[in-house]
Structure 1
Amino acid sequence: MSIFFFNQKIPKLFTKLSVATAKTAFSLILLFKIDSAQAFAAKFNIDPSASIISSYTFSPDSVPFSLTDLGINSGDTIKLERFGSFSPFGDPTDEYFGAMWATFSIDNKLLPSSGTYNGATTDRVPGAINAILPNGCLPFQCLNNSIFYISRVDFNGAIVQVPIDAKFIFIGAADSSFADNVDSNKDFAVGINSVSTASVPEPNFVSALLAFGVCATGLQFLRNQKKAL
Protein backbone atom coordinates (compact mmCIF):
# COMPACT_ATOMS: atom_id res chain seq x y z
CA MET A 1 0.00 0.00 0.00
CA SER A 2 1.48 3.38 -1.01
CA ILE A 3 1.91 6.22 1.47
CA PHE A 4 -0.42 8.40 -0.64
CA PHE A 5 -3.21 5.81 -0.60
CA PHE A 6 -2.70 5.25 3.14
CA ASN A 7 -2.94 9.00 3.84
CA GLN A 8 -6.17 9.19 1.83
CA LYS A 9 -7.73 6.32 3.78
CA ILE A 10 -6.96 7.71 7.25
CA PRO A 11 -8.99 10.99 6.91
CA LYS A 12 -11.98 9.10 5.48
CA LEU A 13 -11.83 6.58 8.30
CA PHE A 14 -11.44 9.41 10.82
CA THR A 15 -14.47 11.21 9.37
CA LYS A 16 -16.65 8.10 9.51
CA LEU A 17 -15.51 7.38 13.06
CA SER A 18 -16.17 10.94 14.25
CA VAL A 19 -19.65 11.03 12.72
CA ALA A 20 -20.51 7.61 14.14
CA THR A 21 -19.18 8.64 17.56
CA ALA A 22 -21.22 11.84 17.59
CA LYS A 23 -24.36 9.97 16.55
CA THR A 24 -23.78 7.37 19.27
CA ALA A 25 -23.27 10.04 21.92
CA PHE A 26 -26.39 11.95 20.92
CA SER A 27 -28.38 8.70 20.87
CA LEU A 28 -27.18 7.75 24.35
CA ILE A 29 -28.01 11.19 25.72
CA LEU A 30 -31.49 11.02 24.19
CA LEU A 31 -31.93 7.52 25.62
CA PHE A 32 -30.89 8.68 29.09
CA LYS A 33 -33.26 11.64 28.91
CA ILE A 34 -36.15 9.43 27.87
CA ASP A 35 -35.29 6.89 30.57
CA SER A 36 -35.09 9.54 33.32
CA ALA A 37 -38.38 11.05 32.15
CA GLN A 38 -40.24 7.75 32.32
CA ALA A 39 -42.50 7.87 35.37
CA PHE A 40 -44.05 5.00 37.24
CA ALA A 41 -47.54 5.23 38.67
CA ALA A 42 -49.09 2.94 41.24
CA LYS A 43 -52.33 2.97 43.20
CA PHE A 44 -52.96 1.08 46.44
CA ASN A 45 -56.06 0.67 48.57
CA ILE A 46 -55.78 1.94 52.13
CA ASP A 47 -57.76 0.40 54.99
CA PRO A 48 -59.19 3.42 56.87
CA SER A 49 -59.68 1.31 60.00
CA ALA A 50 -55.92 0.61 60.24
CA SER A 51 -53.71 3.00 62.17
CA ILE A 52 -50.12 4.14 62.60
CA ILE A 53 -50.91 6.03 65.83
CA SER A 54 -52.37 4.99 69.17
CA SER A 55 -56.12 5.56 69.38
CA TYR A 56 -59.10 5.22 71.68
CA THR A 57 -60.31 2.03 70.03
CA PHE A 58 -58.61 -1.12 68.81
CA SER A 59 -57.59 -1.03 65.16
CA PRO A 60 -55.42 -3.21 62.94
CA ASP A 61 -51.89 -2.06 62.19
CA SER A 62 -51.18 -0.12 59.02
CA VAL A 63 -49.00 -2.09 56.62
CA PRO A 64 -45.91 -0.14 55.48
CA PHE A 65 -44.92 0.07 51.83
CA SER A 66 -41.39 -1.02 50.95
CA LEU A 67 -39.74 1.73 48.91
CA THR A 68 -37.27 -0.80 47.50
CA ASP A 69 -40.10 -2.98 46.19
CA LEU A 70 -41.60 0.10 44.53
CA GLY A 71 -38.27 1.00 42.92
CA ILE A 72 -38.02 4.23 44.94
CA ASN A 73 -34.66 5.38 46.29
CA SER A 74 -33.45 7.98 48.76
CA GLY A 75 -33.44 11.37 47.08
CA ASP A 76 -36.20 10.51 44.60
CA THR A 77 -39.10 12.95 44.39
CA ILE A 78 -42.57 11.43 44.36
CA LYS A 79 -46.15 12.65 44.35
CA LEU A 80 -48.65 11.14 46.77
CA GLU A 81 -52.36 11.62 46.10
CA ARG A 82 -55.50 10.43 47.85
CA PHE A 83 -58.37 8.78 45.99
CA GLY A 84 -61.86 8.01 47.27
CA SER A 85 -63.23 8.52 50.78
CA PHE A 86 -64.63 6.73 53.81
CA SER A 87 -67.13 7.23 56.61
CA PRO A 88 -65.58 8.11 59.99
CA PHE A 89 -68.82 7.13 61.77
CA GLY A 90 -69.50 3.66 60.37
CA ASP A 91 -72.18 4.83 57.92
CA PRO A 92 -71.64 3.27 54.46
CA THR A 93 -74.23 5.65 52.99
CA ASP A 94 -72.22 8.72 53.98
CA GLU A 95 -68.59 8.18 52.99
CA TYR A 96 -67.35 11.74 52.68
CA PHE A 97 -64.12 11.88 54.68
CA GLY A 98 -60.73 11.66 52.98
CA ALA A 99 -57.99 12.87 55.31
CA MET A 100 -54.78 10.86 54.86
CA TRP A 101 -51.32 11.13 56.35
CA ALA A 102 -47.96 9.37 56.09
CA THR A 103 -44.49 9.07 57.56
CA PHE A 104 -41.21 7.68 56.23
CA SER A 105 -39.24 5.19 58.29
CA ILE A 106 -35.84 3.52 58.25
CA ASP A 107 -37.56 0.15 58.88
CA ASN A 108 -40.99 -1.48 58.96
CA LYS A 109 -41.30 -1.61 62.74
CA LEU A 110 -44.68 -0.55 64.17
CA LEU A 111 -45.05 -0.80 67.94
CA PRO A 112 -48.34 -1.91 69.58
CA SER A 113 -50.98 0.73 70.25
CA SER A 114 -51.15 2.03 73.81
CA GLY A 115 -54.96 2.04 73.63
CA THR A 116 -54.99 5.75 74.40
CA TYR A 117 -55.07 8.60 71.93
CA ASN A 118 -51.99 10.75 72.51
CA GLY A 119 -52.36 12.92 69.46
CA ALA A 120 -50.85 12.47 66.00
CA THR A 121 -47.43 11.22 67.09
CA THR A 122 -44.88 8.75 65.77
CA ASP A 123 -44.53 6.97 69.13
CA ARG A 124 -45.43 3.71 67.40
CA VAL A 125 -42.93 4.26 64.55
CA PRO A 126 -39.48 4.39 66.19
CA GLY A 127 -37.73 4.66 62.83
CA ALA A 128 -39.74 7.66 61.62
CA ILE A 129 -37.77 10.36 59.81
CA ASN A 130 -38.76 13.74 58.43
CA ALA A 131 -39.87 14.06 54.84
CA ILE A 132 -38.63 16.84 52.58
CA LEU A 133 -41.30 18.87 50.79
CA PRO A 134 -39.48 20.75 48.00
CA ASN A 135 -42.39 23.18 47.52
CA GLY A 136 -42.79 23.78 51.24
CA CYS A 137 -45.59 22.75 53.59
CA LEU A 138 -49.13 24.02 53.27
CA PRO A 139 -50.77 25.28 56.49
CA PHE A 140 -51.17 22.37 58.95
CA GLN A 141 -49.71 19.90 56.43
CA CYS A 142 -46.46 19.08 58.22
CA LEU A 143 -46.56 18.08 61.87
CA ASN A 144 -43.58 18.38 64.20
CA ASN A 145 -43.05 14.64 64.49
CA SER A 146 -42.28 13.40 60.94
CA ILE A 147 -45.97 12.95 60.02
CA PHE A 148 -47.23 14.90 57.01
CA TYR A 149 -50.68 15.08 55.45
CA ILE A 150 -51.26 13.78 51.95
CA SER A 151 -54.77 15.22 51.99
CA ARG A 152 -57.04 17.25 54.24
CA VAL A 153 -60.32 19.05 53.73
CA ASP A 154 -58.60 21.96 51.98
CA PHE A 155 -56.03 20.15 49.80
CA ASN A 156 -55.17 16.82 48.21
CA GLY A 157 -51.70 15.76 47.11
CA ALA A 158 -48.16 16.11 48.39
CA ILE A 159 -44.87 16.25 46.50
CA VAL A 160 -42.12 14.89 48.72
CA GLN A 161 -38.46 13.99 48.42
CA VAL A 162 -37.57 10.65 49.96
CA PRO A 163 -35.19 11.32 52.87
CA ILE A 164 -31.81 9.63 53.21
CA ASP A 165 -32.02 6.17 54.85
CA ALA A 166 -35.80 5.90 54.31
CA LYS A 167 -36.74 2.32 53.40
CA PHE A 168 -40.48 2.28 54.13
CA ILE A 169 -43.45 4.61 54.15
CA PHE A 170 -46.49 4.24 56.42
CA ILE A 171 -49.73 5.62 54.95
CA GLY A 172 -53.08 5.69 56.71
CA ALA A 173 -56.33 7.50 57.33
CA ALA A 174 -55.90 10.62 59.46
CA ASP A 175 -58.20 10.19 62.45
CA SER A 176 -58.24 9.70 66.22
CA SER A 177 -60.61 6.72 66.35
CA PHE A 178 -60.37 4.07 63.64
CA ALA A 179 -62.56 1.08 64.51
CA ASP A 180 -65.70 2.71 63.10
CA ASN A 181 -64.13 3.86 59.82
CA VAL A 182 -65.91 2.26 56.86
CA ASP A 183 -65.02 2.17 53.17
CA SER A 184 -67.80 0.04 51.70
CA ASN A 185 -66.88 0.51 48.04
CA LYS A 186 -63.12 0.11 48.64
CA ASP A 187 -62.19 3.30 46.81
CA PHE A 188 -60.06 4.88 49.55
CA ALA A 189 -56.58 4.65 48.07
CA VAL A 190 -53.24 6.36 47.60
CA GLY A 191 -51.58 7.08 44.27
CA ILE A 192 -47.77 7.08 44.15
CA ASN A 193 -46.17 8.69 41.11
CA SER A 194 -42.52 9.40 40.39
CA VAL A 195 -41.62 13.02 39.67
CA SER A 196 -37.85 12.72 39.35
CA THR A 197 -35.11 10.29 40.32
CA ALA A 198 -31.93 11.02 42.20
CA SER A 199 -29.88 8.40 40.34
CA VAL A 200 -28.69 9.42 36.88
CA PRO A 201 -26.80 7.10 34.49
CA GLU A 202 -23.05 7.68 34.51
CA PRO A 203 -22.59 10.89 32.47
CA ASN A 204 -18.78 10.90 32.19
CA PHE A 205 -18.53 8.29 29.46
CA VAL A 206 -21.28 9.89 27.39
CA SER A 207 -19.78 13.37 27.84
CA ALA A 208 -16.35 12.16 26.75
CA LEU A 209 -17.87 10.36 23.78
CA LEU A 210 -19.80 13.45 22.74
CA ALA A 211 -16.74 15.69 23.17
CA PHE A 212 -14.66 13.40 20.97
CA GLY A 213 -17.36 13.30 18.31
CA VAL A 214 -17.78 17.09 18.27
CA CYS A 215 -14.03 17.79 18.20
CA ALA A 216 -13.38 15.19 15.54
CA THR A 217 -16.22 16.50 13.39
CA GLY A 218 -14.97 20.08 13.86
CA LEU A 219 -11.42 19.17 12.84
CA GLN A 220 -12.70 17.38 9.78
CA PHE A 221 -14.79 20.44 8.87
CA LEU A 222 -11.71 22.71 9.11
CA ARG A 223 -9.69 20.31 6.98
CA ASN A 224 -12.40 20.37 4.30
CA GLN A 225 -12.47 24.19 4.43
CA LYS A 226 -8.72 24.32 3.80
CA LYS A 227 -9.15 22.01 0.82
CA ALA A 228 -11.80 24.32 -0.61
CA LEU A 229 -9.39 27.26 -0.36
Structure 2
Amino acid sequence: MAFPMEERDRPRILVVEDEPDLARFLQLELNHAGYQAATAANGYEALGRMAEEWDLIILDLMLPGLDGLEVCRRIRQTSVVPVIMLTARDSVADKVCGLDSGADDYLTKPFAVEELLARVRARLRSVGTARQSGEKIVVGDLVVCPGTRMVWREGQLIQLSRREFDLLVYLAENSGIVLSRETILSRVWGYDYYGSTNIVDVYVRYLRAKIDEPFARRLLHTVRGVGYTLREEI
Protein backbone atom coordinates (compact mmCIF):
# COMPACT_ATOMS: atom_id res chain seq x y z
CA MET A 1 0.00 0.00 0.00
CA ALA A 2 1.52 3.33 -1.06
CA PHE A 3 0.97 6.26 1.26
CA PRO A 4 -0.37 9.59 -0.08
CA MET A 5 2.34 12.15 -0.81
CA GLU A 6 1.33 14.44 2.05
CA GLU A 7 1.68 11.56 4.54
CA ARG A 8 5.17 10.36 3.60
CA ASP A 9 6.86 12.61 6.15
CA ARG A 10 4.91 10.95 8.99
CA PRO A 11 6.56 7.92 10.68
CA ARG A 12 5.03 4.74 9.29
CA ILE A 13 4.04 2.03 11.76
CA LEU A 14 2.75 -1.48 11.05
CA VAL A 15 0.56 -3.02 13.76
CA VAL A 16 0.58 -6.84 13.59
CA GLU A 17 -2.36 -7.97 15.73
CA ASP A 18 -4.95 -10.71 15.15
CA GLU A 19 -7.62 -9.21 17.43
CA PRO A 20 -9.53 -6.89 15.05
CA ASP A 21 -10.85 -4.54 17.74
CA LEU A 22 -7.43 -4.05 19.33
CA ALA A 23 -5.74 -3.66 15.95
CA ARG A 24 -8.21 -1.00 14.88
CA PHE A 25 -7.97 0.79 18.24
CA LEU A 26 -4.15 0.94 18.03
CA GLN A 27 -4.29 2.12 14.43
CA LEU A 28 -6.65 4.96 15.33
CA GLU A 29 -4.61 5.99 18.39
CA LEU A 30 -1.37 6.00 16.40
CA ASN A 31 -2.94 8.01 13.60
CA HIS A 32 -4.31 10.47 16.16
CA ALA A 33 -0.81 10.80 17.65
CA GLY A 34 0.58 11.87 14.28
CA TYR A 35 1.80 8.57 12.84
CA GLN A 36 0.70 6.77 9.68
CA ALA A 37 -0.45 3.36 10.90
CA ALA A 38 -1.53 0.24 9.03
CA THR A 39 -2.47 -3.22 10.27
CA ALA A 40 -1.69 -6.87 9.47
CA ALA A 41 -3.83 -9.67 10.91
CA ASN A 42 -1.18 -12.40 11.01
CA GLY A 43 2.51 -13.10 10.63
CA TYR A 44 2.36 -14.11 6.99
CA GLU A 45 0.61 -10.89 6.04
CA ALA A 46 3.18 -8.89 8.03
CA LEU A 47 6.10 -10.57 6.26
CA GLY A 48 4.42 -9.99 2.94
CA ARG A 49 4.36 -6.27 3.67
CA MET A 50 8.03 -5.98 4.63
CA ALA A 51 8.81 -4.75 1.11
CA GLU A 52 7.07 -1.54 2.15
CA GLU A 53 9.02 1.02 4.16
CA TRP A 54 8.19 0.99 7.87
CA ASP A 55 9.72 3.11 10.61
CA LEU A 56 8.51 0.79 13.40
CA ILE A 57 6.55 -2.44 13.86
CA ILE A 58 4.24 -3.26 16.77
CA LEU A 59 4.10 -7.06 16.87
CA ASP A 60 1.80 -9.31 18.89
CA LEU A 61 3.50 -12.47 20.18
CA MET A 62 0.51 -14.82 20.02
CA LEU A 63 -0.39 -14.83 16.34
CA PRO A 64 -2.17 -17.61 14.47
CA GLY A 65 -0.09 -19.78 12.15
CA LEU A 66 3.25 -18.02 12.58
CA ASP A 67 3.92 -16.64 16.05
CA GLY A 68 5.52 -13.30 16.79
CA LEU A 69 8.91 -14.76 17.72
CA GLU A 70 9.32 -16.39 14.31
CA VAL A 71 8.00 -13.31 12.54
CA CYS A 72 10.55 -11.18 14.38
CA ARG A 73 13.39 -13.57 13.54
CA ARG A 74 12.48 -13.45 9.85
CA ILE A 75 12.22 -9.67 9.89
CA ARG A 76 15.70 -9.49 11.38
CA GLN A 77 17.12 -11.46 8.46
CA THR A 78 16.51 -8.50 6.16
CA SER A 79 15.69 -5.44 8.26
CA VAL A 80 16.76 -3.47 11.34
CA VAL A 81 13.37 -1.75 11.70
CA PRO A 82 12.53 -1.30 15.41
CA VAL A 83 10.07 -3.88 16.77
CA ILE A 84 7.94 -3.48 19.90
CA MET A 85 6.52 -6.84 20.94
CA LEU A 86 3.12 -7.11 22.67
CA THR A 87 2.24 -10.12 24.80
CA ALA A 88 0.34 -11.31 27.85
CA ARG A 89 3.42 -13.22 28.99
CA ASP A 90 5.45 -11.30 31.55
CA SER A 91 8.10 -13.67 32.92
CA VAL A 92 11.80 -12.72 32.61
CA ALA A 93 12.38 -15.82 30.47
CA ASP A 94 9.63 -14.79 28.04
CA LYS A 95 11.02 -11.26 27.83
CA VAL A 96 14.54 -12.52 27.17
CA CYS A 97 13.19 -14.86 24.48
CA GLY A 98 11.32 -12.01 22.81
CA LEU A 99 14.30 -9.66 22.91
CA ASP A 100 16.65 -12.38 21.67
CA SER A 101 14.40 -12.94 18.67
CA GLY A 102 15.28 -9.38 17.66
CA ALA A 103 12.63 -7.25 19.36
CA ASP A 104 13.73 -3.84 20.64
CA ASP A 105 11.11 -3.51 23.36
CA TYR A 106 8.56 -5.67 25.14
CA LEU A 107 5.18 -4.52 26.46
CA THR A 108 2.81 -6.77 28.39
CA LYS A 109 -0.97 -6.77 28.04
CA PRO A 110 -3.04 -5.11 29.31
CA PHE A 111 -1.27 -1.79 28.80
CA ALA A 112 -2.13 1.89 28.73
CA VAL A 113 -1.99 3.37 25.25
CA GLU A 114 -0.02 6.30 26.71
CA GLU A 115 2.73 3.87 27.68
CA LEU A 116 2.80 2.34 24.22
CA LEU A 117 3.03 5.77 22.62
CA ALA A 118 5.90 6.69 24.96
CA ARG A 119 7.76 3.54 23.92
CA VAL A 120 7.11 4.30 20.25
CA ARG A 121 8.60 7.79 20.71
CA ALA A 122 11.62 6.37 22.53
CA ARG A 123 12.30 3.78 19.81
CA LEU A 124 11.98 6.32 17.01
CA ARG A 125 14.33 8.70 18.85
CA SER A 126 16.89 5.90 19.22
CA VAL A 127 16.77 5.21 15.49
CA GLY A 128 17.34 8.87 14.71
CA THR A 129 20.34 9.04 17.04
CA ALA A 130 21.88 5.86 15.62
CA ARG A 131 21.58 7.10 12.04
CA GLN A 132 23.38 10.32 12.92
CA SER A 133 26.32 8.48 14.47
CA GLY A 134 28.82 7.15 11.94
CA GLU A 135 32.07 7.38 13.88
CA LYS A 136 33.90 4.39 15.29
CA ILE A 137 34.27 3.95 19.04
CA VAL A 138 37.54 2.34 20.14
CA VAL A 139 38.18 0.82 23.57
CA GLY A 140 41.53 -0.97 23.63
CA ASP A 141 41.44 -3.48 20.77
CA LEU A 142 37.64 -3.32 20.56
CA VAL A 143 36.19 -1.33 17.66
CA VAL A 144 32.47 -0.48 17.55
CA CYS A 145 30.88 1.14 14.50
CA PRO A 146 27.36 2.43 15.35
CA GLY A 147 26.60 3.40 11.76
CA THR A 148 27.08 -0.11 10.36
CA ARG A 149 26.31 -1.93 13.63
CA MET A 150 29.55 -3.88 13.35
CA VAL A 151 32.02 -4.87 16.09
CA TRP A 152 35.60 -6.11 15.90
CA ARG A 153 38.07 -7.25 18.52
CA GLU A 154 41.67 -8.11 17.64
CA GLY A 155 40.54 -7.78 14.04
CA GLN A 156 37.85 -10.45 14.42
CA LEU A 157 34.28 -9.59 13.47
CA ILE A 158 31.90 -10.31 16.38
CA GLN A 159 28.22 -11.05 15.77
CA LEU A 160 25.86 -9.45 18.30
CA SER A 161 22.10 -9.38 18.65
CA ARG A 162 20.42 -5.99 18.34
CA ARG A 163 20.07 -5.56 22.10
CA GLU A 164 23.62 -6.72 22.78
CA PHE A 165 24.87 -4.17 20.29
CA ASP A 166 22.83 -1.33 21.81
CA LEU A 167 24.18 -2.22 25.25
CA LEU A 168 27.76 -2.33 23.97
CA VAL A 169 27.44 1.04 22.26
CA TYR A 170 26.20 2.66 25.46
CA LEU A 171 29.00 1.12 27.51
CA ALA A 172 31.59 2.10 24.90
CA GLU A 173 30.32 5.67 24.69
CA ASN A 174 30.84 5.87 28.45
CA SER A 175 34.12 3.96 28.57
CA GLY A 176 35.77 4.10 32.00
CA ILE A 177 32.57 5.25 33.72
CA VAL A 178 30.85 2.89 36.15
CA LEU A 179 27.19 2.71 35.16
CA SER A 180 24.47 1.45 37.48
CA ARG A 181 21.96 -1.17 36.35
CA GLU A 182 19.19 1.41 36.66
CA THR A 183 21.04 3.87 34.43
CA ILE A 184 21.77 1.21 31.82
CA LEU A 185 18.16 0.03 31.90
CA SER A 186 16.78 3.53 31.34
CA ARG A 187 19.21 4.42 28.54
CA VAL A 188 19.29 1.12 26.62
CA TRP A 189 15.81 -0.29 27.27
CA GLY A 190 14.10 3.09 27.57
CA TYR A 191 13.15 5.34 30.43
CA ASP A 192 9.65 3.92 30.42
CA TYR A 193 10.72 0.27 30.68
CA TYR A 194 9.25 -1.17 33.88
CA GLY A 195 10.89 -4.59 33.87
CA SER A 196 13.42 -5.86 36.40
CA THR A 197 17.04 -4.66 36.30
CA ASN A 198 17.96 -8.37 36.24
CA ILE A 199 17.65 -8.22 32.47
CA VAL A 200 20.75 -5.99 32.43
CA ASP A 201 22.73 -8.73 34.17
CA VAL A 202 21.46 -11.27 31.64
CA TYR A 203 22.62 -9.22 28.68
CA VAL A 204 25.93 -8.33 30.27
CA ARG A 205 26.58 -12.08 30.54
CA TYR A 206 25.65 -12.54 26.88
CA LEU A 207 27.92 -9.68 25.88
CA ARG A 208 30.81 -10.82 28.04
CA ALA A 209 30.70 -14.29 26.46
CA LYS A 210 31.24 -12.71 23.04
CA ILE A 211 33.59 -9.77 23.57
CA ASP A 212 35.61 -10.92 26.61
CA GLU A 213 35.78 -14.67 27.20
CA PRO A 214 37.36 -15.60 23.83
CA PHE A 215 40.18 -13.08 24.40
CA ALA A 216 43.10 -12.77 26.81
CA ARG A 217 42.25 -9.38 28.31
CA ARG A 218 38.98 -8.34 29.90
CA LEU A 219 37.19 -5.16 28.88
CA LEU A 220 33.79 -5.53 30.55
CA HIS A 221 34.13 -5.21 34.32
CA THR A 222 31.70 -5.64 37.20
CA VAL A 223 31.94 -3.15 40.07
CA ARG A 224 30.23 -4.86 42.98
CA GLY A 225 27.35 -3.00 44.47
CA VAL A 226 27.48 -0.36 41.74
CA GLY A 227 27.23 -1.70 38.19
CA TYR A 228 29.34 -2.20 35.08
CA THR A 229 32.06 -0.42 33.13
CA LEU A 230 33.84 -1.00 29.81
CA ARG A 231 37.53 -0.16 29.93
CA GLU A 232 40.96 -1.60 29.27
CA GLU A 233 42.16 -3.83 32.09
CA ILE A 234 44.71 -2.10 34.28
TM range, smaller chain = under 0.3
Higher helix share: 2
Structure (1 or 2) with the larger CA radius of gyration: 1
